[in-house]
Homo-oligomer: A and B are copies of this chain.
Amino acid sequence: MTVDVTTLRADLLRRVEDKLCSHLAAERDLWAEVHEGAVVPIDALAELIDSGGKRIRPAFCLTGYLASGGDPDDPGIVAAGAALEMLHLSALVHDDVLDDSDTRRGLPTVHTKYRELHGERGLQGESRRYGEGVAILVGDLALVYSGELMSEAPRAALPEWNRLRSEVMIGQYLDVHAAAEFSVDPRGSRLIARIKSGRYTIHRPLVVGASAAGRGDLAPAFEEYGEAVGEAFQLRDDLLDAFGDSADTGKPTGLDFAQHKMTPLLGWAMQRDHHIHTLMTEPGHTPDEVRHRLLDTGVPEDVERHIANLVEHGRKAIADAPVDRVWRAELADMAERVAYRTA
């Protein structure tokens, strides 16, 4: 292979970006004629796309597709990549309501923005319900658009896409429920993290790409790679939430503490130090107290070692897969990048 693989993928990622924007622009034109207010939920999605984001899911989908020998000129794979990102926007907007998070990608979250707008304008009803209501509908609209985009992708990708979508909803439910129960169960926490995050981010996007290229036979190798690297991705997410810099991540630090998220990180730490449970559930304690206590358990270092092992496991899983050498190398690099990212 002489073409630089990352150039090839970067070009496709740009087309995904164009597809996202042109889809919303076409909808905006259509609705602007119907009612001037109708463009508000569409613009909310356009703003979110504009505000950045890592595009990890489209990147893995395109990588799975190209590594499987898929035709880079097929517009169907661009639509699939855009569908994955649009689904992610939906999940972010709804997730921010579930967590009552106030910033995302450095901007106010949708429900926060519309809650405040309601108050400022002195509108009827409760500001919170209005803000969260708008966010529910904006997220629903993104979910609908994601399906619309996916209907332009190769039909062979649909089973994996369907699995991915229901899995992320059920995984999110399990996560919300585990936070409410808040019982220490690191095995359960790992399972939930795998379902709602790892598979959704890496394993299934790769298989969506491979299936679209007609290479369903690569699913087992991509599954093993994706499950390992996906778990590393999620563990890094938990570490960034606890110890990261919100200037880098664009969202508040310590949100998992505030929302009693029973992440594997916190589950393992509480197994060693029961007092952390109390610090998180009883009023009057600061996130910094939790943070220091957490460091004292030694669990963050163990998690770093675990991440290193998962990356190694992912690299091995792909080492013997029947894909071109340059894509194996790229997948190994991607494992490092998602596991050691700072945002």
- A146-197 CB contacts (< 8 Å) to partner B: 147-148, 151, 158, 162, 165-166, 169-170, 172-174, 176-177, 179-182, 188, 191-192, 195
- A86-102 CB contacts (< 8 Å) to partner B: 90, 94, 97-98, 100
Binary B-proximity of A32-44 (CB < 8 A = 1, otherwise 0): 0011011011100
A226 to B139, CA, bound (A): 28
Nearest residue (CB) in B for A118 is B180
User: Min CB distance, A127 to chain B, in Å?
Assistant: 9
Does B147 contact A165, Cβ atoms closer than 8 Å?
yes
Does B97 contact A133, Cβ atoms closer than 8 Å?
yes
- Residue A78 CB within 8 A of the other chain: no
A132 to B98, CA, bound (A): 8
Nearest residue (CB) in B for A170 is B38
A179 to B129, CA, bound (A): 12
User: Min CB distance, A86 to chain B, in Å?
Assistant: 12
User: Min CB distance, A81 to chain B, in Å?
Assistant: 18
Q: What chain B residues lie within 8 Å of A148 (beta carbons)? A: 162, 165-166
Q: Which of B100, B123, B169 contacts A41 (CB 8 A)?
A: B169
Does B145 contact A143, Cβ atoms closer than 8 Å?
no
Binary B-proximity of A263-284 (CB < 8 A = 1, otherwise 0): 0000000000000000001000
Does B166 contact A124, Cβ atoms closer than 8 Å?
no
Interface of chain A, helix or strand or loop or mixed?
helix
Q: What chain B residues lie within 8 Å of A98 (beta carbons)? A: 129, 133, 136-137
Given A100-B129, A123-B180, A166-B148, A173 contacting B259 (CB threshold 8 A):
no
- Residue A260 CB within 8 A of the other chain: yes
A interface residue numbers (CB < 8 A to B) = 27, 31, 34-35, 37-38, 40-42, 90, 94, 97-98, 100, 118, 123-125, 129-130, 132-134, 136-141, 143-145, 147-148, 151, 158, 162, 165-166, 169-170, 172-174, 176-177, 179-182, 188, 191-192, 195, 259-260, 281
| Known pairs A124-B182, A144-B165 / 20 extra A-B pairs, C-beta < 8 Å | A34-B191, A34-B195, A35-B191, A38-B170, A94-B140, A97-B133, A98-B137, A100-B129, A125-B179, A125-B259, A134-B176, A134-B177, A136-B136, A137-B170, A139-B140, A140-B172, A144-B169, A145-B166, A147-B162, A151-B162
